[in-house]
């Protein structure tokens, strides 16, 4: 029995593959022209891509806005509540002629300034993500808290209380406006 020669078998297979390839290539027709996309399909694709991009952008903006509102509204009550508490301590000390009146006045003023700084920092961090009407309410609180801190620092036992009361009303109005504008928790 004779064994097949691997070199001869390989040569026969290679020759067969070349002949088959040339036969298939010779039977193929070449189409003349330039390949262009289907105009209707292209227009539909562009419209779909633009709408998908707009939806993704809108979704990112909505998520950023929700996060900015949650961050700012979430920290507002506790941040400003400390200022209210310290201010009330000062008022009680003032009204009762307490010996620690001056230290409570200074603590109230600095706490109000700190609250204004934290609220302002939150608004600035949110940048354009915070709705403009809500940002304006936070900004009004910041201005009102700083004014109240300034009026608090001016207080002595003989100072007129009118400017302090006006500044206190402004802070209360600003706090209430923010609380009403923020989502209920």
pLDDT tens by residue, 108-150: 999 999 999 999 999 999 888 899 999 999 999 999 999 999 9
Tell me the percentage of the chain whose pLDDT exceeds 70: 82
- State pLDDT tens for residues 17-65: 777 777 776 666 666 777 777 777 666 666 776 666 666 556 777 777 8
The dihedral region occupied by 36, where left means phi > 0, alpha psi between -120 and 50, and beta the remainder, is beta
Dist. CA 78–CA 59, nearest whole Å: 30
Number of CB atoms found within 10 A of residue 158's CB: 5
DSSP secondary structure letter of residue 127: G
Residue 156 pLDDT > 70, yes or no? yes
Average pLDDT over residues 154-170: 93
Position 76 in a domain: yes
d(CA 109, CA 89): 11
Residue 48 in domain:
no
pLDDT given for residue 111 in this prediction: 97
Domain count, the chain: 1
Tell whether 72 is covered by a domain.
yes
Decide if 42 is inside a domain: no
Q: What is the mean pLDDT of the chain?
A: 85
Query: In 3-state terms, what secondary structure has residue 173?
Result: helix
Task: Using the structure block, give the residue that is written with the tokens 């934290």.
Answer: 118
Alpha helices in the chain (DSSP H): 6-27, 39-95, 101-126, 132-154, 162-181
Copy the structure tokens of residue 42: 């292209």
- Provide the pLDDT for residue 31: 65
* Terminal alpha carbon distance of the chain: 94
Q: Which two tokens stand for residue 147?
A: 């004014």
Percent of the chain at pLDDT exceeding 90: 54
Asked if residue 106 is part of any domain, the answer here is yes
Is 44 contained in some domain? no
In a domain, 73, yes or no: yes
Q: At what angle do helices 162-181 and 39-95 cross, to 10 degrees?
A: 150
User: Residue 108 sits in which domain range?
Assistant: 60-181
Name the one residue in this structure whose structure tokens are 């979430």: 74
87 within domain boundaries: yes
Q: Is residue 171 over pLDDT 60?
A: yes
Are 82 and 115 within 8 A, CB to CB?
yes
Nearest 5°: phi and psi at 17?
Answer: -65, -40
Instruction: Supply the pLDDT for residue 83.
Output: 93
Please report the pLDDT score of residue 29 as a whole number. 66
């Amino acid at each position: 029995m004779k064994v097949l020669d691997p070199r001869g078998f390989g040569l026969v297979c290679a020759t067969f593959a070349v002949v088959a390839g040339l036969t298939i290539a010779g039977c193929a027709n070449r189409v003349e022209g330039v390949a262009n996309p289907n105009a209707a399909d292209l227009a539909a694709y562009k419209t779909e891509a633009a709408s998908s991009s707009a939806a993704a952008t809108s979704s990112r903006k909505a998520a950023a806005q929700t996060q900015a509102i949650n961050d700012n509204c979430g920290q507002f009550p506790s941040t400003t509540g400390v200022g209210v508490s310290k201010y009330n301590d000062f008022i009680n000390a003032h009204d009762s002629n307490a010996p620690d009146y001056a230290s409570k006045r200074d603590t109230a003023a600095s706490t109000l300034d700190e609250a204004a700084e934290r609220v302002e920092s939150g608004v600035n961090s949110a940048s354009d993500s915070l709705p403009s009407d809500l940002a304006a309410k936070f900004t009004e609180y910041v201005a009102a808290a700083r004014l109240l801190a300034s009026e608090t620092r001016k207080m002595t036992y003989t100072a007129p209380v009118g400017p302090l009361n006006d500044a206190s009303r402004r802070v209360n109005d600003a706090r209430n406006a923010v609380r009403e504008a923020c989502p209920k928790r």
